Structure 1
Amino acid sequence: MRALICDQPTGYESLRLGEMDDPQAGPGEVLIEVAAAGMNFADSLMTAGKYQVKPNPPFVPGLELAGTVLAIGAGVAHVKPGDRVMAVVDHGAFAARAVAKATDTFLLPASLAFPEAAGFPIAYGTSYGALVWKARLQKGETLLVHGAAGGVGLTAVEIGKALGARVIATAGGADKCAIAARHGADETIDYKVEDVRERVKALTAGRGADVVYDPVGGDMFDASLRAIAWNGRLVVIGFAAGKVQQIPANILLVKNVDVLGFYWGSYRQHAPAQMADAFAALMEMMGKGALKPHVSHALPLTDWRGAFETLLGRRSTGKVVLLP
């Protein structure tokens, strides 16, 4: 099969298109013909050897996909050949075929097309877990979402609205702020021209946000600590800004703030049943029209380099997907 191959983890620039043997479904596994694969910032980290998961080279990157079931291994009962599914994998999505654990494979509703489904699991799963499991977001609270036009940020805007929160979204540029607004943000802040701390304070009559969803980190995290309400919860999703912030404990103490780390992928190992419950809840939201997956770039696998440059250059909104 054709695949995007990492021979050595020295960065995405050294990837190559090549041929690999077709994978086979073992017990508890599902073989999927990949129609589309979602791209994530973590893919660039993995190809550079900087991600939590470090596959032995040569390997195929890619953490999420959508496609058609070709075969199932022993013990798999909830999907069958011919079913349309989306799945999460440790790696291997950027190829014509991939194998996923049955517990990481989910049936698609008829309304969800493959490109949108390919970018659904990680972004929506992350935002649901962060806001429901970790932040315990309540109806009527104020949610501040950073990177709100990006892959995970846009899903946090939608899920926050579905949970009944007032959503303030930050993004870089008027066009990105407009996208966040179209997906449900009540207020937007263009961090390129506005002071995030002061705007949040102004929009909340000085109180601050009850919950902060932060996939950006760095200076944005520092601003969040000063714009969060007493007894607020700040969920650390990632460090897209490239700077891992140091947390001043004195501010946490004075404002009774919870800073919560959230790595969604670990729930696949430690709480697979909880993952299944989350996807059931997300599909219910989807059925009510609360979720509208947004793919700004769907590119052929042959244009993998352009896809990485688009993602890492922050030229995309929502998700970037590859089409094998």
Structure 2
Amino acid sequence: MAGPDPGLARRFQRRFLAVRPLRSLPWPELEQNLRTAPDSALLRDILHQTILHPVCVKYPPSTTYRRCFLTELIKKHESTAAEPLDELYDTLADVLKEEESTQCYKSYFLPTGDCVTLSESTAMVSGGTTGLITWDAALHLAEWAVGNPEVFSDRTVLELGSGTGFTGIAICKTCQPKTYVFSDCHHRVLRQLAENIRLNGFVPEPGATWGIQTEPQGQEVEAKNCQKLKLVVAELDWGSVTEKQLVGLQPDVVIAADVVYDPEITVALTGMLQKLSSCRADRAAPKVFFASTIRNPDTYQLFQAELDKVGIRWQIIPAHSNNNFLYDVQPNVTILQLFI
């Protein structure tokens, strides 16, 4: 008789800490294992790799998510002849005592074993912006970047619409850029972004290229990483940014994830790319990569039409086969390389 799957607890762990939809967790494999060998040891292992894991204890997902997860885990346990596991019920009792917060954490393990942890809003739209949560296109772009570190190594990278900062933090931890400029236009997003950068052991430059001022850095901030790269958090409004401001950045690489979602901002976005192209002087054109979740084909086609109109060529980057962050893969995410 085959024993329990030793990798099952780890698969639960990665999906759980990343707060992927509960339906995407490997429940069928767990049921199969419990039918084969109704043993509480596997359930205890899953509990300690998820709810009781040190990362979860320090940076917990939302109370609702943890409660629903534990309820499902208890159901699986009770459907077997496994020995009682009081620890499951005690842990659920502790979670039920907690008050729900408007903020929660998501954590993603990198191939290096390091972790990217983000503080996010529990609401899809919060404070008038969708920039306080991580979207799937950011995971796809980070997945591609981690597999192609040479694109970013020793380069100055400008990220448009950084949101919670997942893609940039993953690149900074794995691809050794020289300078990384996180940018967004919403002040609440920028504050959250600076917090997430510090949460992951990096120290943003005090002040920024323009606009937002990050909090002054004192002795209380101790970077966990040996920080050789320069990190900047900048306010960047595509509609009003000037060529002079863009000249000050001089990026070698420009990236963006899930910025093509609203027809009204598409013209401003392509206009900014035009400015970026015309202000580079004698420098080589930056390499540009955009990841988009195609929710509305008309909006996506409008973006491509605007690119064609201003003479920006584009090509689709082939899908990657890595699976570090994408546990319930969305097939409607496309990565384009733009030639400005």
TM-score range, shorter chain: 0.3 to 0.5
Which of the two has greater helix per residue?
2
Higher relative contact order (CA 8 A, sep 6+): 1
Report the TM-score when normalising by structure 1: 0.42
Which of the two has greater strand per residue?
1
Task: Name which one, 1 or 2, has greater alpha-carbon Rg.
Answer: 2
